[in-house]
Structure 1
């Protein structure tokens, strides 16, 4: 093992081992096929994740080797015992992780670690670290600091005035995406938060990255997360006037808002050849040189400009345009405008001076484009954006690896599979949707896109000193057609319906606010919060507590009994797969100050796509099985092992290969059966 000097860990969020094996067999993942055939894995390519099967929790395990009870990241969002039950804490933050990370022990050994958008890595926790951190706070880098939101811009000669319908800023994160304007809801002053909900549910002076829990009743946050989140602009198409630049005689102009409505840019449609309008050229104003142009069916290059914010400060930004349609006679059409990226931001890069260097080498990153996802147009533009997004990640990864001769560890996290499965998986099997084949194909295409990232990393194994690990945090499973969550379990907040029906939670609608509820803590004995936890509103522990400590155990058992007895009102089937006291849940690696009083999981027909059921649950040809492929120096070649690989085993195995101290809080074991020279005997 001493010959192994470096390790690459590619984290493919939500990559389902079942689908990876299927697509390899179909010949659609040539790079991962090469890793499988030249490396080592279980025969099903699987790995057992930790509870719950959710992004921050499992990636925290895959970088610490610890169970959630130890590392403290217990769901998509966190809650700390002793705070108001109405308060949640944002994860994707290394400060929430109470365990040593693998990159910290590699640095101790004199081996630089490179972190490219690895979940839970940001911010750097070691003073004067030589490690390199590129974001790690969301599904894609820099989503928390975009300068403007994505837009679909319709232009038409019949429109009388400019109209904008802004996207809805929802606190829900059920598809795992957190945008910058959602983060603002985690940092708004406490006195402003109080204005959102009746009766002041929250403590004063909340620190950043905390928020009031989203209270859910007769409302589907899971579905809301899949609605269009895009600004819609309707702009009159007019003859050009007041231009200082000569335009073609047949040119027509429309304007579109930028910089969150503070400024307007201009677009000119024209004919490149022939008699039909087919080109749009973009300008910052009527005096400026063109920012760029594109034809129908094409993306523009990056359009570089500057915005002036409300404080009067100027910032450099860039965005792209995708020309969707122009009528041949030039009377109407529409274009897609990407999220606008800050090009000089260093807020989420360490060291900060690396930010400009990375921008110069790789350019801005194009975020995914999501709107009208079941249409051919929406589907096409979504997948084009993911392909470009992946190309940026390849450029960034190769630049980081090639730049530093002293690197010993590269960790990255790619989130596109998770997003696409959230948006399509419940409509991707026969009988679920009229376009189920197209939806399934879209999922397959996302796996193919990330196979090109794997292909880009394979040449780094040629030195004979580098090991490659490809993992995932979980898979996803759909609900059966016609099945829905009856109102228990959500990543984003407090789900009230089932607990209200059972008589444990008392909630009321906020007057004049659709789908906004508040909890009457004076009458609430227990709540269901986040994906998998029931909290007793306990006197002496919780600020609003009403349950006497002597009644605690009996109440816990009664709630567990009621959960098992609860039946879905539509289908009459049991909703809860199992429920455990926290004493029992310790056997699953679940517990600690960031968990509730009861841990439970749902039958897959009633949950969201992940987080509410364990690894190895299957439904309709999909599974929650995490992925683990290993290849390269120090590892067996072309073998399947019988050992059950667990997420906690990844870190100690990488450390053993590279002769680096295993992190202090690690609870997994070295996968010796995967190592060269180790025989796995059969009896």
Structure 2
């Protein structure tokens, strides 16, 4: 096949609905994305259902629908196991379809993947990969999550609204202590050396970093035992008579061994430190920001973002050391899990650091080796969806100040994403095609999300233990699995099954009837958009025995920002149409495509432009309307 482009850059923006991209482009917030649209071809794209990260990115990367690749959800049924057991869906080994980067390697091409979600563990053999697991805390190589040391009258900064369930947003830990309470006490100057001059008596505070804290214990590459706390020592002092105004962070009670000396709003530089987990000594970087310190030290707030290991997260393995030497510290998570705790400005600052880090890594890798296709992705816009998007619409009932904060949050995040896109466009030349895409979108929240499990419990089809909330398989005939699936607890198929095979269709119809006739007591409306059998779910590109016996969806106002509503809805400034923008050689300029574009069409279209075979299991088509022929 003759190639129409020499190289490709595939830019992934998790949670970027075409609705929000067009809205922000019209507002002037995204000049780089607007340029790509104005000089390329674009269309709101039809994504997958459920509108989630795992099936979305896997369909984009393989050109296959979820029914074929089988990466259905974040939590997927395990064949032959009780219906209460699931497998974590962020795992390339689950995919039954070939990834496009492996197709490229078969064709003699070299791919580079930089934090391309749903690409871990690596399947490449000739290219380069940097990270590629799940969102936020759903990663493998974090040494420690964020730490937020607070004392006195500190208060969080919530925005209100519902917190999205972990089933659709596993980027943050939803249980456990979210701050680190500390005590400021008079410093014993006999124990300290090299104490800086202070107008007021200095205070000390112990700042203990807990390895493995605020991460997912089921995912860590470092094991779950033997995490040794690492204590830093803070010295709070006063440079002026106005009161306490600085903190010095030290590795011991020697103030000369400082890793930070901060006034309010200051960030420290990165400091390379060692941590112990089990029998391993791991190296990572720490940095600190003094967010709050009142002049009487009555309120204290010191923040440290994620500590990321300097090893283990790349293929080949030595690329991690190369990044450490030539690029600097890697930041996988821009503190998504601190939204509503720290001030918004601190989060936005880290988002910029995160995006700059990923752009720096991509530019370094492309400058130091031959490459053919760069895949790189950010999740930060979806972090904004789950926090800010919820209350961007006046119909949500929030105050004007909350709506303004929410809209500013969405604008600032996508503007930062756009600057990252601009850095990547520095790699584009006249022979390089660029595609911008996304896995799903995001919509505002109007009412608390509706859960099928609650409806099934109400009608007695699902029974849970009153004390633990766990599903009682001995009494339940219908079991919700993952985000949008309900399985009949069938004898002979499911361990612990109680439904006789001859009653299967009757129970299946009972589930469908319960969902489709349910009336939400808060609104008087019917929240469920559909509930269909597995056979009928093929119209949603879902088939096979990992699909529920019943598949359901809700109207967008009854969902969290994405997940359980259908892939072609719009609501407020958001929606679930995914993004498709293509720009470069032999691509039409300034063309709003009329024909349908789908997630599974991206890999075939890129294969056509690059002159390589289609991925082995691709079910999409080449979007010929976008291409000059």
Give how far 1:309 is off.
3.5
Please state if 1:436 is matched with 2:434. Answer: no
The one-character-per-residue Cα deviations of 1:154-190 (angstroms, maximum 9, x if unpaired) are 256x99xxxxxxxxxx9962453346xx7xxxxxxxx
The one-character-per-residue Cα deviations of 1:358-406 (angstroms, maximum 9, x if unpaired) are 122222234323577458x52111111111111111111111221222x
Which residue does the alignment assign to 2:319? 354
Change (3 A) 1:372 1:362: closer
Please state if 1:507 is matched with 2:476. Answer: no
Give how far 1:529 is off.
1.9
Which residue does the alignment assign to 1:369? 335
Please state if 1:397 is matched with 2:373. Answer: no
The one-character-per-residue Cα deviations of 1:499-522 (angstroms, maximum 9, x if unpaired) are 111221111123xxxxx3122212
Give how far 1:249 is off.
3.8
Please state if 1:648 is matched with 2:613. Answer: no
Which residue does the alignment assign to 2:184? 236
The total of aligned residue pairs comes to 596
Which residue does the alignment assign to 1:673? 625
Give how far 1:262 is off.
2.3
Does the 8 A contact of 1:238 with 1:252 survive in 2? yes
Provide the secondary structure at the position in 2 that maps to 1:281.
strand
Give how far 1:36 is off.
0.6
Which residue does the alignment assign to 2:269? 301
Which residue does the alignment assign to 1:125? 123
Change (3 A) 1:171 1:307: farther
Aligned partners of 1:672, 1:665: CA distance in 2, in Å?
20
Give how far 1:146 is off.
2.1
Listed as ranges, the matches of 1:132-151 within 5 Å are 132-140=128-136, 143-151=139-147
Larger deviation, residues 601-610 vs 642-651: 601-610
Does the 8 A contact of 2:136 with 2:336 survive in 1? no
Change (3 A) 1:371 1:69: closer
Listed as ranges, the matches of 1:83-98 within 5 Å are 83-98=81-96
Listed as ranges, the matches of 1:98-109 within 5 Å are 98-109=96-107
Residue of structure 2 aligned with 1:615, choices 547, 567, 576: 567
Does the 8 A contact of 1:372 with 1:379 survive in 2? no
Please state if 1:466 is matched with 2:432. Answer: yes
Which residue does the alignment assign to 1:76? 74
Aligned partners of 1:71, 1:111: CA distance in 2, in Å?
23
Residue of structure 1 aligned with 2:508, choices 548, 556, 562: 556
Which residue does the alignment assign to 1:28? 29
Does the 8 A contact of 1:228 with 1:372 survive in 2? no
The one-character-per-residue Cα deviations of 1:591-619 (angstroms, maximum 9, x if unpaired) are 11321111111112222211111122122
Residue of structure 2 aligned with 1:451, choices 418, 435, 438: 418
Provide the secondary structure at the position in 1 that maps to 2:129.
strand
Aligned partners of 2:525, 2:38: CA distance in 1, in Å?
43
Give how far 1:652 is off.
0.1
Change (3 A) 1:620 1:671: same
Please state if 1:265 is matched with 2:232. Answer: yes
Aligned partners of 2:25, 2:615: CA distance in 1, in Å?
34
Larger deviation, residues 20-29 vs 300-309: 300-309
The one-character-per-residue Cα deviations of 1:187-241 (angstroms, maximum 9, x if unpaired) are xxxxxxxxxxxxxxxxxxxxxxxxxxxxxxxxxxxxxx4x896332222232243
Provide the secondary structure at the position in 1 that maps to 2:186.
coil
Aligned partners of 1:77, 1:153: CA distance in 2, in Å?
33
Provide the secondary structure at the position in 2 that maps to 1:324.
strand
Which residue does the alignment assign to 1:290? 258
Which residue does the alignment assign to 2:374? 410
Which residue does the alignment assign to 1:497? 454
Which residue does the alignment assign to 2:215? none
The one-character-per-residue Cα deviations of 1:396-448 (angstroms, maximum 9, x if unpaired) are 1111221222x111112210111111112222221532211111110111110
The one-character-per-residue Cα deviations of 1:129-153 (angstroms, maximum 9, x if unpaired) are 1111112111259943322232221
Aligned partners of 1:103, 1:403: CA distance in 2, in Å?
19
Give how far 1:27 is off.
1.4
Aligned partners of 1:36, 1:396: CA distance in 2, in Å?
26
Please state if 1:316 is matched with 2:309. Answer: no
Provide the secondary structure at the position in 1 that maps to 2:290.
strand
Does the 8 A contact of 2:534 with 2:548 survive in 1? yes
Provide the secondary structure at the position in 2 that maps to 1:255.
strand
TM-score, normalised with respect to structure 1: 0.83
Please state if 1:475 is matched with 2:452. Answer: no
Provide the secondary structure at the position in 2 that maps to 1:254.
strand
Give how far 1:37 is off.
0.9
Gaps of 5+ in 1: 160-169, 183-224, 489-495, 511-515, 678-683
Does the 8 A contact of 1:80 with 1:593 survive in 2? no
Provide the secondary structure at the position in 1 that maps to 2:524.
coil
The one-character-per-residue Cα deviations of 1:532-575 (angstroms, maximum 9, x if unpaired) are 11100011110111111122123222321222111113222112
Provide the secondary structure at the position in 2 that maps to 1:569.
coil
Larger deviation, residues 291-300 vs 33-42: 291-300
Which residue does the alignment assign to 1:254? 205
Gaps of 5+ in 2: 155-162, 212-227
Aligned partners of 1:142, 1:542: CA distance in 2, in Å?
29
Which residue does the alignment assign to 1:4? 5
The root-mean-square deviation of aligned C-alpha atoms, in Å, is 2.4
Larger deviation, residues 602-611 vs 444-453: 602-611
The one-character-per-residue Cα deviations of 1:245-282 (angstroms, maximum 9, x if unpaired) are 31124243221112347232101233457755433221
Please state if 1:176 is matched with 2:169. Answer: yes
Does the 8 A contact of 1:279 with 1:293 survive in 2? yes
Change (3 A) 1:530 1:122: same
Which residue does the alignment assign to 2:387? 423
Listed as ranges, the matches of 1:528-607 within 5 Å are 528-607=480-559
Aligned partners of 1:242, 1:110: CA distance in 2, in Å?
67
Aligned partners of 2:465, 2:353: CA distance in 1, in Å?
46
